[in-house]
Structure 1
Amino acid sequence: MTAPPCVVAALTAADAGEALTVQYAAYLAEARRYGTTEIPPLRESVAELAADLGRPDIRAFGAWAGERLVGSVRLRGGGLGTGSGCLELARYSVAPDAQGHGIGRALMERAHAELAPGDVSWLVTGARSDENLRLYRRAGYEETGHLVDSAGVDLLRLERLAR
C-alpha cells in the first residue's frame, strides 16, 4: 500500500484537536513499549497544545494526506534561525498507519529548514525506541545524554548542529 502524497505546512491553534489525536495515537505505541500511559505527550490537553501553537517561540508543522492530518512536529526555543539558537524538536508524531512512508522525514526536513547554520536542535526519545533512533541518527542527531522522565521512562537526548 502506498500513502497519498503529503503536504507539510504550518499548524495553527485551530489544528490543535486533530494534532492531539495524531499525537495520542503515535505515543500510545511508545506507552505500550514502556508499559506506562503517563508519558508527557499523552498527558497534554487540547488547550495546552493550542496555547503552545500560539506562542511566538514555537514553530509547528503538520503533514496532511488529503484532508487528514497524519503527522506533526514542534520546534521550541529562543533564537530560532539566528545561528546561535538551541531549539527542541518536540512532540514529533506520525499516525501509526501512516508510518514508513517518509512523512516523519518530511516533517523533520521542514523543521530543519527553519534553522540557520549554527543553530542546535535537540530532542529526547525513548532509549528502546529503535525505529525513532534510526531516523534521528540518519538525520544527523548524536546522543548527548541520558535522562529519566516523570513516568520513569529511560530517555536519550540527541543533538544536531544545523549547517
Structure 2
Amino acid sequence: MGMSVTISAATEQDAEQIFRLQYLCFQSEAALYGNYRIDPLVQSLDSVRREVATDCVFVARLGDEVVGSVHGRTTEDGAAAIGKLCVHPRFQGHGIGARLLRAAETALSEQRGATTFRLHAGHRSEGNLRLYRRFGYQAVGRSTGADGVEMIVLEKRAGAYAATA
C-alpha cells in the first residue's frame, strides 16, 4: 500500500462512505448465513448519520477513501457495545481491523468510562471470532439477532489486552 492508512473519529462527512462500505463488506457475512437482512445491509443512511453524530465511530482512511469502520456505544449497564467492524475487501489482512478495534476500545474506555467491552459475532464467522479472541475476548453466551442469525456474545474487561493483539 503506497499510502499509509490513518485511523480517526468519523465525521458527518464520512457517513455516506461508511454506509456504502458496510453494504459492501457485509455481503460475505450475509452469504455465509444465507440472510441478506442482517443489520448493516438494511440500515438506512440516516441511521448511520445518527450513529456518527452520537456514538463512537472510527474510520480507517487511505487518502480521502474510507476503507474501514467500527461503531461503539455505551449501554445501560455501563458496558461498551462494539460492532459493525468492517474493512474493505482490498485491504483485509493488513491489520486495519485490529487498529480500528483498538481505537474503539481506547475511546470507549477513556472518553465514555466503559469498563467492559461486549460484541456479537455470527457463530459461523470464524475469521471475526479469531480476531476477537486474539484481542482477549471470551465467549459469555449466545443470542439470536433480530434477523434470526445465531450470535456468539463475547466480552472482556477494559484494560485486558491479549499479548498477541
Q: Deviations over 1:70-90 (max 9, x none)?
A: 1001111158xxxx8301002
| Alignment equivalent of 1:70, drawn from 54, 67, 71 | 67
Give the 4+ runs in structure 1 shifted more than 3 A: none
The answer to whether 1:125 aligns with 2:121 is yes
Question: Aligned-pair distance for 1:5?
Answer: 2.1
What corresponds to 2:149 in structure 1?
A: 153
Question: Aligned-pair distance for 1:141?
Answer: 0.6
* Contiguous gaps of at least 5 residues in structure 1: none
Cα distance in structure 2, aligned partners of 1:36 and 1:118 = 32
Q: Deviations over 1:35-77 (max 9, x none)?
A: 010111111011111011111xx11100001221110011111
- Check conservation: 2:74, 2:114, Cα contact below 8 A: no
Question: Aligned-pair distance for 1:92?
Answer: 1.1
Q: Deviations over 1:82-141 (max 9, x none)?
A: xx8301002111111211011001101111212158710111011010000000000011
Q: Normalized against structure 2, the TM-score is what?
A: 0.88
Note the 1:43-82 alignment, pairs <5 A: 43-55=42-54, 58-77=55-74
Change (3 A) 1:152 1:118: closer
1:97 partner amino acid: R
Cα distance in structure 2, aligned partners of 1:95 and 1:27 = 10
Q: Normalized against structure 1, the TM-score is what?
A: 0.89
Q: Percent identity at matched positions?
A: 33
2:45 partner amino acid: V
